[in-house]
């Protein structure tokens, strides 16, 4: 089940249940209007309806969560299968604060990808990687080729920075260290911050290297499409 944002609902029945929804169709991968005929209530908590894609005529199951009084719950519309659209990566707001133009490039690449414009999306991704390299590197390296920029990243970016100051926090005199003297004083906020710190570390030390290794092996084993026109050789 994927959340369908309320802004995608184009029109509603008099009881405010969605009548038409415009979104990316999971079947034909095109932006399309889905129309509901009736909504069927199931129990007291939800109503369901099969909506048909106006382009490919295949159906998508929509589920609407209900309030206790049977009215529609805001932000309570879901669909299955999911719209097929790729959602922005978590933490994209940090890219936005690093550089608004880079964030816009990422947004465009995602939008093109979600419209099945593979080539155009990939060209923007290449441009995005070049821009990211230029943003992270010293000024004299900003005109390097994309491959050179990516190579230079490991020297120019301070990769140890996320790990700085963590030891201090957990030392006996540090923010967390002091609280361990009497664990009964540790409240939810502290427990949450400490858990988050551990999760960020695991992310950086374990998850990122692991997922990067998986991705590289998928890239290495992916079938490469034949170059156009080379078939006759």
Positions in the binding site for Zn ion (CB under 5 A): 25, 27-28, 53, 55-56
CA–CA distance, 183 with 157 (Å, rounded to integer): 38
- Which residues lie below 8 Å from residue 134, measured CB to CB, with a gap of 6+? 142, 149
* Minimum CB distance to Zn ion smaller for 9 or for 53: 53
- Minimum separation from the CB atom of position 10 to Zn ion (A): 16
- Minimum separation from the CB atom of position 120 to Zn ion (A): 21
* Minimum CB distance to Zn ion smaller for 55 or for 111: 55
- The tokens describing 209, both together, are 């290297």
Asked if residues 68 and 76 have their Cβ atoms less than 8 Å apart, the reply is: no
- Minimum separation from the CB atom of position 85 to Zn ion (A): 13
The count of other CB atoms within 10 Å of the CB of residue 15 is 10
Phi-psi region of 2 (alpha: psi -120 to 50; beta: other; left: phi over 0): beta
- Minimum separation from the CB atom of position 24 to Zn ion (A): 9
* Minimum CB distance to Zn ion smaller for 60 or for 132: 60
CA–CA distance, 128 with 110 (Å, rounded to integer): 11
* Minimum CB distance to Zn ion smaller for 41 or for 57: 57
């Amino acid at each position: 089940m994927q959340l369908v944002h309320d802004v995608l609902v184009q029109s509603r029945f008099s009881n405010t249940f969605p009548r038409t929804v415009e979104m990316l169709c999971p079947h034909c991968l095109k932006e399309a209007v889905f129309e509901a005929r009736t909504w069927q209530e199931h129990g007291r908590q939800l109503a369901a309806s099969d909506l048909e894609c106006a382009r490919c005529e295949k159906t998508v199951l929509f589920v609407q969560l209900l309030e206790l009084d049977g009215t529609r719950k805001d932000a309570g519309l879901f669909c299955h299968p999911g719209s097929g659209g790729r959602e922005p990566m978590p933490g994209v707001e940090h890219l936005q604060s690093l550089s608004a133009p880079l964030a816009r490039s990422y947004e465009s690449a995602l939008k093109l990808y979600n419209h099945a414009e593979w080539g155009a999306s990939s060209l923007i991704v290449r441009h995005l990687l070049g821009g990211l390299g230029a943003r992270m590197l010293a000024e004299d390296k900003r005109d390097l080729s994309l491959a050179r920029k990516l190579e230079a990243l490991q020297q120019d970016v301070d990769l140890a920075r996320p790990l700085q100051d963590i030891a201090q926090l957990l030392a006996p005199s540090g923010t967390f260290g002091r609280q361990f003297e009497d664990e009964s004083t540790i409240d939810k906020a502290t427990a949450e911050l400490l858990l988050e710190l551990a999760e960020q570390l695991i992310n950086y030390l374990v998850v990122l290297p692991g997922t990067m290794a998986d991705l590289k092996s998928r890239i290495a084993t992916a079938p490469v499409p034949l170059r156009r026109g080379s078939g006759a050789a």
